[in-house]
Amino acid sequence: MNIIEVSHLSKIYKNDSVETVALLDVSFGVKKGEFLAIMGASGSGKSTLMHILGALDLPTSGSYILDGEDVSKLSEDQLADIRNRKIGFVFQAYNLLPRTSALKNVMLPMAYSGVQLAGRVKKAEELLKIVGLSDRMYHTSNQLSGGQQQRVAIARALSMTPSIILADEPTGNLATTQRDEIIEIFQKLNRDGHTIVIITHEPDIAEHAKRIITLKDGKIDSDRVNGKKLKKLKLWN
């Protein structure tokens, strides 16, 4: 069974009397444990698709089923609940709470779902260890480098054990070495069975995924299995 099932998805923005088609009749499925990159130039509709996949926005028509739940017709608070339980976000700008410790940042989604404090701390500590930040747990976000901040964001994305990890240009703000670190973490998580969807416009980031969907003018231009042997990265630890 597919963890993501998108069929005939369209998104049309209406501004005054002008209609802008952002997505047109997009259909695809993602299996559990896949590592998918969604590519496209700016204006191709990849951001719109990311918003819909992230339950941040609703499609104009078509359906989106995430982990067995139809997301396309939910209320605002129901969407918030889906985002909380099923989606782990990683943003380009990290989006950590300012002047707040790494630990507290990782705990935030668990706080919204009502996990007890002790359970939250334990889980957050585990996750920070996984992303290699066990010695930086009490550093506030402004005391961390970009790569470290993004690793905190990945730990935060994992905190609710989501159905998918949705990363929007996760390396866009990072220098090359830190970029490789982040890619390595995603690959590791994927090997551990996590479903990962990366939205990017950089081909060399997409090359690390097992499957690449390319969007053009709101439609799927190509959907291929990445034939290239996965680029071997120096094991980060």
Partner 1 sequence: MELTELVKESLSTLALNKLRTGLATLGIIIGIGSVITLISLGQSGQKSVQNQIESLGSNLLTVEPGSASSGFVREGFGSGTTLTHADANALANSSEITTISTVSPELARRAQVVAGRNNENTQIIGVTPTYASVHKASIASGVFISQRDVDASTKNVVVGPDIVTNLFGEGSNPLGQTLRINGIAFNIVGVTESKGGTGFQNPDTYVYVPLTTAQSVLFGVNYLSTISVEAKNSNVMTEAENQIGYFLLARHKINDPTQADFSILSQSDILGAVSQVTSTFTSLLAGIAAISLLVGGIGIMNIMLVTVTERTREIGLRKALGAKRKTIITQFIVEAIILTAMGGILGMFFGLGASFIISKIINLPFTVSFSSILLAIGVSGATGIVFGWYPAQIAARMQPIEALRYE
Q: Is 236 in the site for partner 1 (CB under 8 A)?
A: no
**Residue closer to partner 1 (CB basis): 7 or 84:** 84
Q: How far apart are CA 214 and CA 85, in angstroms?
A: 28
Among 7, 84, 173, 226, contact with partner 1 (rule: CB under 8 A):
84
Task: Number of residues interacting with partner 1: please give it, by CB under 8 A.
Answer: 26
Q: Smallest gap, in angstroms, from Cβ of residue 85 to partner 1?
A: 7
Q: Which of residues 108-147 bind partner 1 (CB under 8 A)?
A: 108-109, 111-114, 117
- Dihedral sign for Cα atoms in the order 65, 68, 73, 76: negative
Q: How far apart are CA 97 and CA 228, in angstroms?
A: 38
Q: Is 74 in the site for partner 1 (CB under 8 A)?
A: no
Stretch that binds partner 1, among 6-14, 66-74, 92-100, 220-228 (CB under 8 A): 92-100
Counting Cβ atoms within 10 Å, is residue 46 exposed (0-12), middle (13-18) or buried (19+)? buried
Q: Smallest gap, in angstroms, from Cβ of residue 232 to partner 1?
A: 34
Joined together, the tokens standing for residue 66 give: 């995430």
Q: Smallest gap, in angstroms, from Cβ of residue 223 to partner 1?
A: 25
Among 40, 45, 54, 147, contact with partner 1 (rule: CB under 8 A):
54
Among 1, 16, 42, 99, contact with partner 1 (rule: CB under 8 A):
99
16's CB contacts (< 8 A; 6+ apart) are none
Counting Cβ atoms within 10 Å, is residue 196 exposed (0-12), middle (13-18) or buried (19+)? buried
Q: Is 11 in the site for partner 1 (CB under 8 A)?
A: no
Q: Smallest gap, in angstroms, from Cβ of residue 181 to partner 1?
A: 23
225's CB contacts (< 8 A; 6+ apart) are 210, 211
- Helices 146-158 and 117-130: crossing angle in degrees, nearest 10, is 130
| Contacting residues toward partner 1, per CB under 8 A | 51, 54, 56-57, 76-77, 80-81, 83-85, 89, 91, 95, 97-99, 108-109, 111-114, 117, 156, 160
